[in-house]
Amino acid sequence: MPQIELHNARKSFGSLVVTDDFSMHLDEGEALGVIGPNGAGKTTLFNLITGGLAPDSGRIVFDGADITALPAHERCRRGIGRSYQIPHPFIGMTVFENLLVGAAFGTGKPESQCYGPCAEILEKTGLIGKANTLAGSLSLLERKRLELARALASDPKVLLLDEIAGGLTEEECLALVDTIRDIRAGGVSIVWIEHIVHALLSVVDRLIVINFGVKIDDGDPHTVMNSTQVQEIYMGISAE
Amino acid sequence: MAETAQYRVATATRTSRAGLFVLLAGVVFLATTPLWGGRAEMRLVVEFCYFLALAQMWNLLAGYAGLVSVGQQAFVGLGGYALFVFSIWLGVHPLLALPLAAVAAALFAIPTALIVFRLRGAYFAIGTWVTAEVYRLSFAQVSDLGGGSGMSLPIGVIKAVAGSRSERELVVFAIGVAVAVASTGIVYWLLRSRYGLGLTAIRDSEAASESLGVNNFRTKLYVYVLAASITGFIGALIYLQKFRIAPDAAFSLIDWTAYVIFIVVIGGIGRIEGPIVGTIVFFILREFLADLGSWYLMILGLVAVVVMLRAPQGIWGLLAARFDLHFFPVQRRLYRRDGSPP
């Protein structure tokens, strides 16, 4: 059963069309990869799904219900979690409090019931030692982990990850892949935008390619990667 | 404090417990003014209290909700005029008119919010200012409230507060101290609640708080209406002390917003201690510089500029960082069961 569906979504900023007649779906429990050159409209796709942007036309469906008109906070409460490509930590709050925001507001539970789950997520994501540190003093790597941890705290059914592996060392990247696999094993569907293709391919079941706001391929990751169109657009290799 | 399997969460620190004593001593000092001071000291303390309360409200708006309003004088003026309308036109007891003024200010704040919330950042600031000007000009048109030259509270209303002058002053003094303590307490309680988590998150990143389930619009609206309501109460109290109201004074940008911003900025924005430190500094400066005329405002401006450039976290920000001071601990800290850090 599809968990997320986009029907003919379109978004433009002035005369620049960033998403054009875009349709896609995500099945429950699936891990979906999204690739495409810079400026292809990948992050815009996430913003349409999470409610950061409203589409000019088209419909967005989550768990069978039309959510096109729902505000972002309501979509989070229904189970759509996201991490930002450029981390947006709450710099004046501790790492633990950053997670508490997601847990208390994303799940609607009383704050005191969120302490346990948040501490658990901090352990799982390797941030427990930084629990009482102000998020503003974290390194870039830690900020990226915090993005993931905070989204997990809101107990999502679907997790949208935006270039979370960028800038990581090979070792850190492998650890991240393990973490994402764990999250998925816990029953959370994943949509992952990533330029680090080998990390992406080690997790996802299906791959979507976007260029100039249009979906140009969708299918088995290895077939898609080897298609001539992707080779041309993504690798800059001519089909000749 | 709450417990989980291996961890517990606490907010208090050693300095916060020590800070509590300092604060209690301060409150006792202010509250006992009638015992050690005369009429002039009591007036000064009331003024100190309402500036502190106004500063707490502005700090809540700008320092936490990210709503940098330069139009809070709208609610001081509305509260002040509400006192006159309720007590003169409707014959309500003047002390009952104070909470009614708070309600009136809240009712005006809702439509005001729906207009100014469409604007962001600097535009929001200008929007609040313009709205306050509209209120000022509107009240100047009402001839039954004295128009542009204003009006005085009739002697009958003044006598209804209390029979003698010293009793009246005591009543106003008690309410003033209570408002300062209550507004500080409300901000503290708000920040310790779940609501405070959302508010602080909005302050740091609106995009992230919204995508983590915080209803930014509603949270800001509540804070705006709450701040307007308490500001309206303070406005009514100010004019119960002054007996005379006029639109230019009641909706004065300098008196009710510029000084208040100065207080919060030099004390430390986004911290509950900031307004307290700022109000003390403001009153000290005022006592020493009041004779200098317009130089006084220039010196205030210069102090504000220097603090903003050299210590953008304010005086309390500097002290808190240097000595790890938290008189009002709002931070949730995670500890292992044995008390060690995680």
Q: What is the pLDDT of residues A31-62, one digit of tens each?
A: 999 998 888 889 999 999 999 999 999 999 99
- The pLDDT of residue A58 is 94
Task: Say if CB B181 and CB B323 are below 8 A apart.
Answer: no
Domain boundary among the residues A155, A184, A206 is at A155
**Per CB distance under 8 Å, which residues of A are interface residues toward B?**
50-52, 71-74, 76-77, 82, 84, 88-94, 96-97, 100-102, 104-108, 110-112, 115-116, 119, 122, 128-129, 131-132, 150-151, 153-154
- The answer to whether position B55 is within a domain reads yes
Asked if residue A124 and residue A30 are part of one domain, the reply reads: no
Nearest residue on chain B to A85, judged by CA atoms?
B208
Across B12-32, average pLDDT: 85
User: Which of A70, A93, A95 is the best substitution to test chain B (most B C-beta atoms within 10 A)?
Assistant: A93
| Alpha-carbon span A73 to B114, nearest angstrom | 20
Tokens 């406005």 correspond to what residue? B235
Across B76-82, average pLDDT: 97
Asked if residue A167 and residue A239 are part of one domain, the reply reads: yes
Asked if residue A30 and residue A63 are part of one domain, the reply reads: yes
Asked if residue A167 and residue A65 are part of one domain, the reply reads: yes
User: Which of B211, B216, B221 is the best substitution to test chain A (most A C-beta atoms within 10 A)?
Assistant: B211
Angle of CA points A67, A70, A72, to nearest 5° = 110
ipTM value of the model?
0.90
Q: A184: Cβ–Cβ under 8 A, 6 or more apart, which residues? A: A29, A31, A190, A203
Q: In sequence order, what E strands does A29-167 have?
A: 31-35, 57-62, 65-66, 80-83, 158-162
**Per CB distance under 8 Å, which residues of B are interface residues toward A?**
2, 4-7, 9, 194, 197-198, 200-201, 203-205, 207-217, 270, 331-334, 341-342
Across A185-213, average pLDDT: 92
Asked if residue A189 and residue A140 are part of one domain, the reply reads: no
Tokens 């303390």 correspond to what residue? B45
Contact (CB<8Å) A82/B211: yes
pLDDT per position as a tens digit, B146-194? 898 999 999 988 998 888 989 999 999 999 999 999 999 999 999 999 9
Contact (CB<8Å) B334/A110: no
Across B112-125, average pLDDT: 93
Domain boundary among the residues A97, A132, A155 is at A155
Q: Which tops the pLDDT comparison, B66 or B132?
A: B132
Asked if residue A11 and residue A101 are part of one domain, the reply reads: no
pLDDT per position as a tens digit, A98-133? 999 999 999 999 999 999 999 999 998 889 999 999
- The answer to whether position B28 is within a domain reads yes
Contact (CB<8Å) B334/A96: yes
Per-state percent for chain B, helix, strand, coil, to nearest 5: 75, 5, 20
- The answer to whether position B336 is within a domain reads no
Structural domains of chain A, count: 2
Q: Which amino acid is at B181?
A: V
Enumerate the residues of chain B whose CB falls inside 8 A of the CB of residue A129.
342
| pLDDT range class, residue A73, cuts 50, 70, 90 | very high
Q: Residue A74 maps to which CATH number?
A: 3.40.50.300
pLDDT per position as a tens digit, B305-322? 999 898 888 999 888 888
- Residue B207 has its nearest CB partner, among A52, A100, A105, at A52
Q: Which tops the pLDDT comparison, B324 or B93?
A: B93
Domain that residue B31 falls in: 11-327
Q: Is A65 exposed, middle or buried (0-12, 13-18, 19+ CB in 10 A)?
A: exposed
Structural domains of chain B, count: 1
Asked if residue A224 and residue A171 are part of one domain, the reply reads: yes
Nearest residue on chain B to A72, judged by CA atoms?
B211
- The answer to whether position B239 is within a domain reads yes
Residue B265 has pLDDT above 70, yes or no: yes
Q: In sequence order, what E strands does B120-262 have?
A: 151-152, 244-245
Enumerate the residues of chain A whose CB falls inside 8 A of the CB of residue B342.
119, 122, 128-129, 131-132
CA distances from A111 to B85, B139, B193, B197, B220 (A): 43, 45, 8, 10, 20
Domain boundary among the residues A155, A180, A207 is at A155
Task: Say if CB B102 and CB B232 are below 8 A apart.
Answer: yes
| pLDDT range class, residue B80, cuts 50, 70, 90 | very high
- The pLDDT of residue A4 is 95
- Residue A97 has its nearest CB partner, among B4, B209, B331, at B331
pLDDT per position as a tens digit, B23-63? 899 999 999 999 998 899 999 999 999 999 999 999 999 99
Asked if residue A64 and residue A123 are part of one domain, the reply reads: no
